[in-house]
Amino acid sequence: MKLLLVAIAAESAQRSHELRRILEAESDIKIVAELRDPHQALSVVLDRAPDALLLSSALLNAGGLDAIELIMAERPTAILLLEDRSITPDESSVQKALRRGALQREYVPTRPDAEFAAYLRTLVRRLARVRVVRHILGRSGAAGQTPGRPQNQADAVEARPRFPDSAARTPPPRRAELPSPVMGKPRSEVARRPGQQIALVAIGASIGGPNILADILRPLPRTIATAIAIVQHLPPGFAQPFAEYLNSHTNLPVQVVDQPQAVRPGCVYLAHDNCHLIASRRGVLAPDSGPPVNGHRPSVDRLFMSVSQAYVDSAIGVILTGLGNDGSDGLMAMRQRGAVTIAQDAETTTVDGMPRAARESGAADYWLAPPEISEALMLLCDSEAPRGGGAR
């Protein structure tokens, strides 16, 4: 088994020692550095090449944000943000950290128990396997330059900007006959199928999803003639802050579904903490406390499967960046019932696990970058289509 090297940047020696004790309880994880000053993080990463960096969110405004930016420019590394449950996080700083390249945020209990310790070790192992992307934000005067490849690592790290230049891509045509799906082939042109009326867009995402979701939703007008349901893998307690984040970065009203409710066109609905989000019937979304699916609750597959039953061919399924394969089976079910299915392309994902599983299985009609997904949704759900999102 490969030895995983981890660095810890925590606000106190007590928290740092606690994390070391948890992670080194099993022999495959070794702590290579403990630091209090995040300004030292870049030199630690360059000198000791950790597979992952655990960074306390309490250090973000004390140099942590700059450290993330520099690390992701110089030597991309999987970064996990850890938040103390007893301290209200600075949500703005956390979102900046995620946008600059941190992969995920996680609460640390005041008194971590054995269950949390096992969970944290598993999470660190998973994040250490992520193919981390290089950001050019931290390079002074580097705008327009092509980033070089990072140093060789046992785990491959791909050197490319996080998002493509959408202007360099060919936008989808306004009208054209949709070609028959061909398994394993990308589709760069999107067209509305004759007579198809989209009533719901279902989107699933995991690691790297929050900012990509904001980028996709931002161009959509409030007049868009469909409702949008989203499952984003998040730790418990983050659903409402995520809804507030999207509300502040998009034109559409966003709410968490904590009870069954009729959906309205032009509105965005998020899964509640530790609950699946399902289409209980056409026009109604509801929380569901059933068992985890693919290890997740909420699960993207659970949403997509329910949408395939309730909406048949009057839906769109979109699978975005994330680790694992949650959503692939559900997207295939939607496609088999006539829905339009989209997977994010490999070039623009933070973690190309979930989209790759959908592309390789043939579940996705189209492989698109985030700007193209926005364009496709506006095309397929524009105001010329009847509004069918409400309950019947």
Q: Which of 51, 215, 273, 326 is catalytic?
A: 326
Q: How far apart are the first and last CA of the chain?
A: 55
For residue 308, the 8-state DSSP code is H
Residue type, 165: D
CA 315, 320, 323 angle in degrees (round to 5)?
A: 135
Q: Is 345 a catalytic residue?
A: no
Nearest partner of 37 among 55, 17, 19, 14, judged by Cα:
55
Q: Is 155 a catalytic residue?
A: no
Q: Which of 16, 56, 57, 206 is catalytic?
A: 206
Q: Which of 135, 233, 276, 296 is catalytic?
A: 233
The token pair at 97 is: 């950290």
Please give the sequence-ordered ranges of beta strands (E in DSSP) within 298-379, or none if there are none.
315-319, 340-344, 366-368
Q: Is 206 a catalytic residue?
A: yes
Beta strands 261-262 and 284-288: pairing type? antiparallel
Classify residue 47 as left (phi > 0), alpha (psi -120 to 50) or beta.
alpha
Whole-number Å distance between alpha carbons of 124 and 134: 20
- The Cβ of residue 149 has, within 10 Å, a number of other Cβ atoms equal to 10
For residue 101, the 8-state DSSP code is T
Contacts of 342 (CB under 8 A, 6+ apart): 316, 317, 318, 319, 364, 365, 366, 367, 368, 373, 376
Active site residues: 206, 233, 326
